[in-house]
Amino acid sequence: MHHQSQPKLISGNANLSLARAISRRVSMSRGMSVGLVDARVERFADQEIFVEVYENVRGEDMFIVQSTSNPANDNLMELLIMADALRRSSASRVTGVLPYFGYARQDRRAKARTPISAKLVANMIAASGIDRVLTMDLHAAQIQGFFDIPVDNLYASPVFALDIRHKFKKKLDKVTVVSPDVGGVARARELASRIGCALAIVDKRREKAGEVAEMTVIGDVAGQTCIIVDDICDTAGTLVKAADTLLGEGAKEVHAYITHGVLSGPAVGRITNSAMKSLVITDSIEPSEEVKKADNIRIVPTAPMFAQAILNIWNGTSVSSLFNHEALEAIYEGTY
């Protein structure tokens, strides 16, 4: 058990609203105010990042909340420089809380003379003085092995399961969970088993990066409410085409549950104009005003889960208890 009276949270500029929500949840659980540590994280005129921590953090258990989302390089550098500032200020332990871990899609060499950038980023994070990482829905589970420090990878599927049970409670027998590609089958199967429904797969063939040539549905979706589940939605091209393919196979309606709403470029417009009834994302990435205004995009909060995980790490208790939707039900009480 730590001698500190409470964990200390600090945030970069990537997702301040989530960091504040986490600090509120930690305060509620602790029965005392656990605000974000006062610091400035800003740019010099030449865009170099500068960090100054205004509070004493000597001997403290520090948690840096910072998604490495767009602009990925700026947010990653903020994380590394904040970690260095805390290390040099004699913090006893530094945990990087990365709700979204950028560069995760570069996790292997798909062809010759290409980098494995996810491994490089893992090396940089460990070298900056971060002792452990807390993240959610890594693009590939093996990325945990890229780190030589402990990595706790939380899952959005228990939170999604709660949401689906609430939103579709009268027609769960008519719900089919769909993986938008063969690589995401394990994620989709896991969610399907949580809510006790059928599973289908959309098999896609790519001609070149960013373009999908053809899609085939494996499984019977006729008359079903289809829920596409995936970890990342970037330009939404694949997602919208998968929804059209499912409707073409006789699906009654299509919804999507995606952990990380990257939503680059034309994504929001594509989703708004698509045949999909709704897209549900988490707030792992700070949603833009365009995303907030979109009628068929809904955001579920991750602060209750991250706050509990931070308290469990600080207390030295199990984080894997949060993989269970029954355990999360108590944490999310009042949200649904």
Catalytic hit among 204, 208, 252, 292: 204
To the question of whether residue 139 is assigned a binding role by annotation, the answer is yes
To the question of whether residue 251 is assigned a binding role by annotation, the answer is no
To the question of whether residue 106 is assigned a binding role by annotation, the answer is yes
Which residue matches tokens 């979204």? 100
* Residues linked to residue 280 through DSSP beta bridges, in sequence order: 257, 298
Which residue matches tokens 């390089």? 73
- Using alpha carbons, select from 82, 85, 80 the residue that is nearest to residue 122: 80
To the question of whether residue 230 is assigned a binding role by annotation, the answer is yes
To the question of whether residue 234 is assigned a binding role by annotation, the answer is yes
To the question of whether residue 181 is assigned a binding role by annotation, the answer is yes
To the question of whether residue 206 is assigned a binding role by annotation, the answer is yes
To the question of whether residue 237 is assigned a binding role by annotation, the answer is yes
CB contact at 8 A, 62 and 91: yes
CB contact at 8 A, 268 and 295: no
Distance from C-alpha of 302 to C-alpha of 288, rounded to nearest angstrom: 17
- Using alpha carbons, select from 275, 322, 281, 278 the residue that is nearest to residue 296: 278
To the question of whether residue 48 is assigned a binding role by annotation, the answer is yes
CB contact at 8 A, 101 and 138: yes
119 noted as active-site residue: no
To the question of whether residue 47 is assigned a binding role by annotation, the answer is yes
Three-class HEC string of 281-309:
EECCCCCCHHHHHCCCEEEECCHHHHHHH
CB contact at 8 A, 278 and 256: yes
Give the active site residues: 204
Give the residue numbers of the binding site for D-ribose 5-phosphate.
Answer: 206, 230, 234-238
List residues forming the annotated binding site. Answer: 46-48, 105-106, 139, 181, 206, 230, 234-238
Q: Which residues are annotated as a binding site for ATP?
A: 46-48, 105-106
